[in-house]
């Protein structure tokens, strides 16, 4: 830690060597080419004469364009000129040389007064300047003659908000390297190798991040995978940005974009470090305490100082916080080691590699600075990016993989135990099967004996079932006879009226015949003719009432005979009217004092229904008989002095159906027993007055025999309504 702090202090606080303005001598090119660092002169004005080789620039300012800070003279807006005098040796004469330029400005490059290359767009207005950096594509110089050379550069900076005092993340104002053809190929290969290394590092971190993010998706309880994924993704973004800048840097890189992308890369790298520490907390099952929060706050303050000061304060504060922050992973690792946490050595090696790379990079910075090695920035960037980011990532990833392997090994052991237990269970099961086989033989003998008993009981049950069916048939026949009795009583009353007419007219006709004989004997033909006419009228009336009685008897016979089940067109209105009167007179035959109001509301032009008239008549007779019984019982109760028994029948045509409503104003059906009214053998009448099969048979006739519906609605002390619906066409017909 002390070595790292010392390296940061020395590297940041060492004074910048003054620029050498004497002529640069290049008898031959070094192995890596000649980087034109010093010997530059600068003048903040614009004139075409500044490009001439013989112009006297001895009064110009000495400048170092590769290290000039934000506040330096080269960072001022406007157009200025750089001039470099150098001596080419005989080895460089007549050779094709290349100038590799990296810059954050727009420039015109002149060699010995001749315009060689224009890079970007120059303008006296900074807002119109377009910077151009050409780090991989070289500028081809014209053939040289041995002797003095003058390299003049007309330079303009774009309008970029250089408000960051620390120029670390800004490209150099102007940086040039002189290369031979063979050196150019080697240099470009090296640059592409470094970019490829960045791409490989970014790809590895990105894959690690996505892999552990997938682990977290399938196992959210292990939050260490989430924190490590964030660490790996944060660490991979800087390399991705560096790799993605390759086309931009090779063409039109704007200084402000490069600066902000550099700041973003550095901030993301530090954020990834914090995620790595947070992942370590989760791995060891510890909650981040005050030390972690203090580390985050101190790192934020150090970043502000780093971006605000270009001197030793900012660099020293950031290095101190970062080095002290490494104590927390060390402390957590040591605690995990003392707790015997498996695989903690991988994490220790990862953070140790990061610490070693940081200290090694700081030492290299000192060495390169004092020895003026040109490639120091490239080497340092790759060391920090590869070792500082990949070491903790690989350490934590190996730790998680080791835990996964141990869990898999433990699971394998558990599976072995399960297989052992399964084999033991299988042996026990086989023993049980043998025991069950023995018991099965005994059981079969017991079953044979029990079967004989069951067969005997079955014969007894068969006889009981036969008797039950006979009883059920008798009950159904009794219900039919009860219905027939009600019908017969009504029919007897209906037949009595025409018979009275027949008897009366027969007596009158006998008297008329006696009078007719007397008139004929007395010789009065006119009177005899009148009596004969009256006698004819009486005989016609006797025939009419006899036919009426015959029709009533015929209807009774149709009702009493067994139904053939054949459907025929049936007039529902006529059927309702007939059975309403028959049911009413049937009840009056039993109770002469009973009177009720009969209301009918028959739909005119009601179409006929394909139905079995006898069965449908039984249903209507049953519903009407129940309705008259309900109003009779309420009248006999005497609870309502002004009560008037009323039974109404209403017919309507609905959508493809005929509806019949039978309504009474009796006491109603209690809600508790309403769902049971269509159940067989259920009745509310006293013993001996009902079989409980009337509504059940009616429900079966309507729903099963005719494909209709039969429902009931009732309200206490308001009455009951039975609704019957029949399809106009028989089932299976259109």
pLDDT digits (tens, 9 = 90+) for 387-409: 666 677 777 777 777 777 777 77
Burial tier of 296 (Cβ tally within 10 Å: 0-12, 13-18, 19+):
middle
Domain check: are 573 and 717 in the same one? yes
Domain check: are 75 and 200 in the same one? no
- Distance (Å, whole) CA 261 – CA 238: 9
Is there a domain that residue 335 lies in?
no
Q: Which residue has the higher pLDDT, 713 or 494?
A: 713
Is there a domain that residue 671 lies in?
yes
Is there a domain that residue 508 lies in?
no
Mean pLDDT for the chain? 76
CA distances from 590 to 490, 613, 647 (A): 10, 26, 18
Is there a domain that residue 712 lies in?
yes
Buried residues in 385-401 as b, exposed as e (16+ CB within 10 A): bbbbbbbbbbbbbbbbe
CATH number at residue 123: 2.60.120.260
Is there a domain that residue 137 lies in?
yes
Domain check: are 249 and 153 in the same one? no
Buried residues in 351-376 as b, exposed as e (16+ CB within 10 A): bbbbbebbbbbbbbbbebbeeeebee
Tell whether the model's pLDDT for residue 646 goes beyond 80.
yes
Domain check: are 239 and 259 in the same one? yes
Please report which confidence band the pLDDT of residue 653 belongs to, taking 50, 70 and 90 as the band edges.
very high
What are the tokens at 588? 């009056």
550-579 residue pLDDT tens:
666 665 555 454 455 688 899 999 999 988
Tell whether the model's pLDDT for residue 133 goes beyond 60.
yes
- The pLDDT, as a whole number, for residue 562 is 46
Q: Which residue has the higher pLDDT, 5 or 426?
A: 426
Tell whether the model's pLDDT for residue 306 goes beyond 70.
no
Is there a domain that residue 384 lies in?
no
Domain check: are 59 and 163 in the same one? yes
- Distance (Å, whole) CA 479 – CA 473: 10
Going 96 to 97 to 100 to 105, the CA torsion angle's sign is negative
What would the 3-class secondary structure string for 494-555 be?
HHHHHHHHHHHHHHHHHHHHHHHHHHHHHCCHHHHHHHHHHHHHHHHHHHHHHHHHHHHHHH
Tell whether the model's pLDDT for residue 730 goes beyond 60.
no
Domain check: are 81 and 69 in the same one? yes
Domain check: are 217 and 170 in the same one? no
Is there a domain that residue 318 lies in?
no
Residues 501-526 have a mean pLDDT of 76
Domain check: are 234 and 283 in the same one? yes
- The pLDDT, as a whole number, for residue 599 is 93
Domain check: are 134 and 193 in the same one? no
Domain check: are 44 and 127 in the same one? yes
Tell whether the model's pLDDT for residue 359 goes beyond 50.
yes
- The pLDDT, as a whole number, for residue 249 is 40
- The pLDDT, as a whole number, for residue 109 is 94
Domain check: are 175 and 213 in the same one? no
Last residue of a domain, one of 261, 287, 313: 287
Going 558 to 560 to 563 to 564, the CA torsion angle's sign is negative
Domain check: are 147 and 259 in the same one? no
Last residue of a domain, one of 144, 160, 179: 179
Q: List the domain range (segments joined by +) for residue 1.
A: 1-179
Assess contact for 334 and 191: CB atoms under 8 A.
no
Is there a domain that residue 300 lies in?
no
What are residue 316's phi and psi, to 5 degrees? -65, -40
pLDDT > 70 in the chain, percent = 74
- Distance (Å, whole) CA 671 – CA 669: 6
Residues 307-321 have a mean pLDDT of 61
What element of type H or E holds 98?
strand 98-103
pLDDT > 90 in the chain, percent = 14
Tell whether the model's pLDDT for residue 244 goes beyond 60.
no
Last residue of a domain, one of 287, 310, 344: 287
Number of domains in the chain: 3
**Any residues with CB less than 8 A from the CB of 107 and at least 6 apart, and which?**
101, 118, 119, 120, 122, 132, 153, 154, 155, 156, 174
Cβ atoms within 10 Å, residue 444: 10
- The pLDDT, as a whole number, for residue 682 is 72
């Amino acid at each position: 830690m002390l070595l790292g702090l010392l390296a940061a202090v020395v590297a940041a606080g060492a004074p910048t060597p003054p620029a050498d303005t004497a002529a640069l001598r290049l008898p031959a090119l070094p192995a890596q080419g000649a980087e034109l660092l010093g010997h530059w002169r600068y003048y903040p004005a614009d004139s075409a004469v500044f490009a001439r080789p013989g112009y006297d620039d001895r009064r110009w300012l000495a400048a170092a364009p590769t290290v000039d800070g934000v506040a330096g003279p080269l960072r001022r807006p406007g157009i200025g000129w750089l001039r470099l005098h150098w001596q080419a040796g005989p080895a460089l004469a007549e050779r094709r040389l290349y100038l590799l330029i990296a810059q954050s400005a727009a420039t015109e490059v002149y060699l010995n007064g001749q315009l060689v290359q224009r890079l970007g767009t120059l303008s006296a207005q900074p807002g119109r300047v377009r910077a151009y950096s050409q780090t991989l594509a070289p500028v081809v110089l014209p053939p040289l003659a041995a002797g003095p050379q003058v390299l003049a550069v007309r330079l303009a900076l774009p309008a970029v908000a250089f408000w960051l005092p620390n120029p670390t993340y800004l490209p150099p104002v102007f940086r040039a390297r002189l290369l031979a053809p063979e050196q150019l190929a080697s240099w470009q290969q090296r640059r592409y190798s470094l970019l490829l290394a960045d791409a490989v590092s970014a790809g590895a971190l990105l894959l690690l991040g996505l892999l552990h993010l997938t682990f977290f998706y399938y196992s959210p309880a292990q939050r260490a995978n989430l924190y490590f994924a964030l660490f790996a993704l944060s660490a991979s973004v800087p390399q991705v940005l560096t790799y993605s800048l390759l086309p931009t840097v090779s063409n039109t890189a704007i200084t402000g974009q490069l600066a902000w992308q550099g700041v973003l890369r550095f901030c993301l790298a530090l954020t990834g470090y914090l995620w790595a520490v947070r992942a370590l907390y989760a791995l060891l099952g510890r909650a981040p305490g005050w030390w972690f929060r203090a580390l985050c706050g101190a790192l934020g303050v150090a970043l502000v100082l780093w971006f605000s000061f270009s001197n030793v304060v900012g660099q020293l504060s950031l290095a101190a916080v970062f080095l002290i922050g490494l104590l927390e992973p060390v402390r957590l690792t040591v605690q995990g080691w003392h707790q015997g946490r498996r695989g903690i050595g991988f994490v220790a090696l990862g953070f140790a590699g990061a610490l070693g790379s940081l200290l090694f990079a700081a030492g290299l910075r000192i060495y390169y600075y004092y020895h003026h090695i040109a490639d120091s920035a490239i080497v340092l960037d790759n060391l920090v990016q590869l070792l500082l980011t990949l070491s903790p990532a690989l350490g934590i990833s190996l730790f998680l993989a080791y835990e996964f392997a141990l869990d898999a090994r433990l699971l394998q052991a558990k599976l072995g135990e399960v297989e052992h237990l399964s084999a033991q269970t299988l042996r026990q099961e086989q023993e049980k099967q043998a025991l069950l086989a023995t018991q099965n033989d005994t059981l079969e003998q017991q079953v044979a004996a029990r079967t004989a008993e069951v067969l005997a009981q079955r014969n007894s049950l068969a006889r009981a079932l036969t008797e039950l069916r006979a009883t059920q048939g008798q009950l159904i026949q009794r219900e039919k006879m009860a219905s027939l009795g009600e019908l017969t009583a009504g029919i007897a009353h209906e037949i009595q009226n025409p018979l009275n007419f027949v008897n009366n007219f027969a007596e009158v006709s006998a008297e008329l015949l006696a009078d007719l004989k007397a008139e004929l004997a007395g010789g009065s033909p006119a009177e005899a003719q009148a009596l004969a006419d009256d006698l004819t009228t009486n005989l016609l009336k006797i025939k009419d009432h006899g036919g009426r009685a015959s029709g009533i008897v015929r209807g009774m016979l149709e009702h009493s005979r067994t139904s053939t089940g054949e459907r025929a067109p049936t007039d529902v209105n006529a059927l309702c009217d007939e059975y309403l009167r028959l049911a009413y007179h049937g009840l009056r035959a039993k109770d002469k004092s009973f009177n009720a109001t009969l209301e009918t509301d028959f739909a005119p032009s009601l179409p006929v229904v394909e139905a079995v008239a006898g069965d449908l008549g039984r249903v209507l007779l049953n519903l009407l008989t129940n309705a008259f019984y309900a109003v009779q019982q309420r009248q006999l109760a005497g609870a309502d002095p002004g009560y008037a028994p009323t039974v109404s029948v209403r017919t309507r045509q609905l959508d493809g159906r005929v509806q019949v409503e039978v309504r009474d104003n009796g006491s109603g059906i209690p809600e508790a027993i309403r769902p049971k009214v269509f159940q067989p053998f259920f009745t509310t009448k006293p013993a001996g007055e009902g079989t409980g099969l009337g509504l059940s048979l009616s429900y079966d006739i309507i729903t099963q025999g005719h494909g209709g519906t039969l429902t009931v609605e009732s309200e206490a002390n308001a009455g009951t309504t039975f609704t019957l619906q029949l399809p106009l066409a028989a089932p299976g017909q259109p």
